[in-house]
Structure 1
Amino acid sequence: MSTNPSVPDYDLADTIELSTPEQVRAISDPLRTTILGLLHERGATVTELADAVKRPKGTVAHHVNVLAEAGLLRVVRTRRVRAIDERYYGRTARMFYVSVGQSPGGGPLPLDFNDFEVAAKESAAAYQAHQLWAFIRHARISPEQATEFWHRIKDLVQEFDQVPRSGETTYGFAVGLYPMTDYPTLPAEKS
């Protein structure tokens, strides 16, 4: 379980590896990833989620059910309101991950499973307003070094996920590590 119980306001695992195609499909929808993101703050009802994303309650309920059936959400508490039990949903883990470049079953990830495409769309307004902070670097390293580096990045993402929510502005945080086959390299140094 998490070492920071204040964010969100319910217990959850730190990480869960997605092990079924249904789980990968569940998180590849932008509305569902937004719902998962909102639930980093606290448990919420379908009504609260629908208000936050400005979508019909029935639409949000459908997406919450898909996430719950995939094991990514669960009911974290209930509250009795006028003879009806109101369910509060929460994530089952702070971070969900798929083995690098593979979907469960060993096939390639679906083409719509690209967080950088989402980040590019989300960051366009920040770029126009000169409020986008970004770096891109390239390095020839071994696959083992890349894996080690990626584990360190995952730790930073977990730290970002656990920051108590405050303020009026939501910030996006996108990271990635990818092999390049067409990046130029220097020839071996002559002795």
Structure 2
Amino acid sequence: MTVNAPVPDYELQDTIELTTSEQVRAISDPLRTTILGLLHERAATVTELAGAVKRPKSTVAHHVGVLAEAGLLRVVRTRRVRAIEERYYGRAARMFYIGLGRGAGDGKGPRDLNDFEVAAKESVAAYKDGQLRSLIRRARIPEERAAEFWKRVAQVVGEFDQLPRAGDTAYGFTVGLYPMPDYPVLPPGDDTVE
């Protein structure tokens, strides 16, 4: 792959809001999220995806179908191989986010859709090998500042998504911003200094 080639190798939207429980359920399956992750690099056929995840082609075809039905994948190109037309699938968007209060939160979706839980499971081996890089910070800030900061974080995530793919190791990148109502807060300080 050319180092400066755009990632992935097809056109897609930047973001899509998930507004139905079917869409949320579609991304809640670990194999389907792996398929979506692989398609960040380039479009791929069901055969290529099955080889990458070491699962039967029929299983991968089923999961690709679920993602396509939910509008998260689409055919981005085809090619004729002998008498068969091969379909290359790509993501519909770089990033999917759950739209709160518009159908996705109807109680029918998975209750445990938590990127931190997934990241914690994925990072165990890296932690044991001394390869885990992580930071945690806490700050008491107004909601407007939190929203402003999150927009900047989303830009970094977008930059990570578009990095040219190379090397033999895949890296996970997890970020989050969450309220902590029970975290202790100091009372206002005395501004006078003696």
TM-score (norm 2): 0.90
Whether the 8 Å CA contact 2:43–2:88 is kept in 1: the answer is yes
Unaligned runs of 5+ in 2: none
**CA deviations over 1:169-189 (Å, ceiling 9, x no partner):** 100000001111211111222
Unaligned runs of 5+ in 1: none
How far apart in 1 are the matches of 2:181 and 2:120? 22
Whether the 8 Å CA contact 1:5–1:11 is kept in 2: the answer is no
Give the counterpart letter for 1:77 in structure 2: R
User: What is aligned with 2:102?
Assistant: 104
1:125 deviates by: 0.4
Q: How does 1:20-169 map to 2 (within 5 A)?
A: 20-99=20-99, 102=100, 104-105=102-103, 106-107=105-106, 110-169=110-169
How far apart in 1 are the matches of 2:85 and 2:94? 26
Instruction: Name the SS of the counterpart of 2:123 in structure 1.
Output: helix
1:91 deviates by: 0.4
How far apart in 2 are the matches of 1:174 and 1:117? 10
How far apart in 2 are the matches of 1:32 and 1:141? 36
Give the count of matched residue pairs: 186
**Larger-Rg structure:** 2
Give the counterpart letter for 1:182 in structure 2: D
Whether the 8 Å CA contact 2:5–2:164 is kept in 1: the answer is no
1:67 deviates by: 0.5
How far apart in 2 are the matches of 1:103 and 1:58? 35
**CA deviations over 1:99-123 (Å, ceiling 9, x no partner):** 4xx3632457732210000000000
The verdict on how the C-alpha distance between 1:152 and 1:76 changes in structure 2, with shifts beyond 3 A counting, is same
User: What is aligned with 2:176?
Assistant: 176
Sequence identity (%):
73
Whether the 8 Å CA contact 1:21–1:103 is kept in 2: the answer is no
How far apart in 2 are the matches of 1:5 and 1:73? 21
**Structure ranking higher on relative contact order (CA contacts 8 Å, 6+ apart):** 2
User: What is aligned with 2:186?
Assistant: 186
How far apart in 2 are the matches of 1:86 and 1:21? 30
